[in-house]
Amino acid sequence: MKIDIISVVPDLLQSPFAHSIMKRAADKGLLYVNVIPLRPYGLGKHQQLDDMQYGGGAGMVMMCEPLDRCISELKEKTAYDQVIYMTPDGKTFDQRMANRLSCMENLLIICGHYKGIDQRIREMHITMEISVGDFVLSGGELAAAIIVDAVGRLIPGVLNDETSALTDSFQDDLLAPPVYTRPADYKGYQVPEVLLSGNEKKIDEWRYEMALKVTKEKRPDLFAKQEI
């Protein structure tokens, strides 16, 4: 999979993809993340990217021309399955969306800044608008990193045990059950006996029951979906 990211501050995205699972995905040739600085597409000697908004009001707006030039140039080289704009008014990102995006080959993500991008860019180029929650960030870079991480780890071969992603929270609209490792007894806190039994059927049943219990307690909104 190839993911291109357009950013005003590309340095913000150096660390998230240089370590851990995302780095291993890149080293295996399974995920290629390319961060494109928008500044070289800016206008004039100062490479301007933003301007005051029509109608007045606080906050600057990312201009049409730099983004249009950058996006159009990238589109000439790559056929994107989705051109994504990270924005607070987009559809809230969830595991199902991550699953769908992980099946695609080429994604382009635009990171907004200031008061956002000129609406005409959204109309001309954007095919998908995503929010990572009901709050506002200084820019779309951290949100884009979340998308890449959630999607990238689902690509076959990225995780050492591919079944691990299938048992993550939210895959079945359930939170994950409790997990334990050695020692079996730590300061009087013991691992449930069923997990030590070796009986896979009983262990699976216990994990499902605990997933239901945890979801009901912590996310009743998700648990309600189990009853539909």
CATH number, domain of 105, equals 3.40.1280.10
Q: What CATH number has the domain bearing residue 171? A: 1.10.1270.20
| pTM, rounded to two decimals | 0.89
Is the model more confident about 155 or about 172?
155
CB atoms inside a 10 Å sphere around CB 226: 13
Domain co-membership, 18 together with 129: yes
pLDDT at 145: 98
Residue 74 above 90 pLDDT? Answer: yes
Domain co-membership, 197 together with 121: no
Q: How confident is the model at residue 53 (pLDDT cuts 50, 70, 90)?
A: very high
Domain co-membership, 27 together with 136: yes
Q: How confident is the model at residue 165 (pLDDT cuts 50, 70, 90)?
A: low
Instruction: List the Cα angle 110/20/168 in 5-degree steps.
Output: 80
Domain co-membership, 38 together with 145: yes
In a domain, 97, yes or no: yes
Q: How confident is the model at residue 160 (pLDDT cuts 50, 70, 90)?
A: confident
Domain boundary among 152, 185, 214: 152
The pLDDT tens digits of the residues spanning 75-129 come to 999 999 999 999 999 999 999 999 999 999 999 999 999 899 999 999 999 999 9
pLDDT at 162: 59
Rounded Cα–Cα distance for residues 84 and 213 (Å): 36
Domain co-membership, 134 together with 202: no
Rounded Cα–Cα distance for residues 174 and 208 (Å): 9
In a domain, 160, yes or no: no
Residue 50 above 60 pLDDT? Answer: yes
Question: For 200-225, what is the mean pLDDT?
Answer: 94
Residue 138 above 60 pLDDT? Answer: yes
pLDDT at 226: 82
Domain co-membership, 177 together with 101: no
Domain co-membership, 43 together with 122: yes
pLDDT at 163: 56
Domain co-membership, 132 together with 186: no
In a domain, 137, yes or no: yes
pLDDT mean across residues, the chain: 94
In a domain, 175, yes or no: yes
The pLDDT tens digits of the residues spanning 166-205 come to 566 677 789 999 999 999 999 999 999 999 999 999 999 9
Q: How confident is the model at residue 227 (pLDDT cuts 50, 70, 90)?
A: low
Rounded Cα–Cα distance for residues 5 and 40 (Å): 15
Domain co-membership, 107 together with 212: no
Domain co-membership, 81 together with 194: no
Domain co-membership, 109 together with 74: yes
Lowest-confidence segment of 4-8, 83-87, 125-129, 156-160 by average pLDDT: 156-160
Domain that holds residue 178: 167-226
pLDDT at 22: 93
Indicate the number of domains in the chain.
2
Residue 131 above 90 pLDDT? Answer: yes
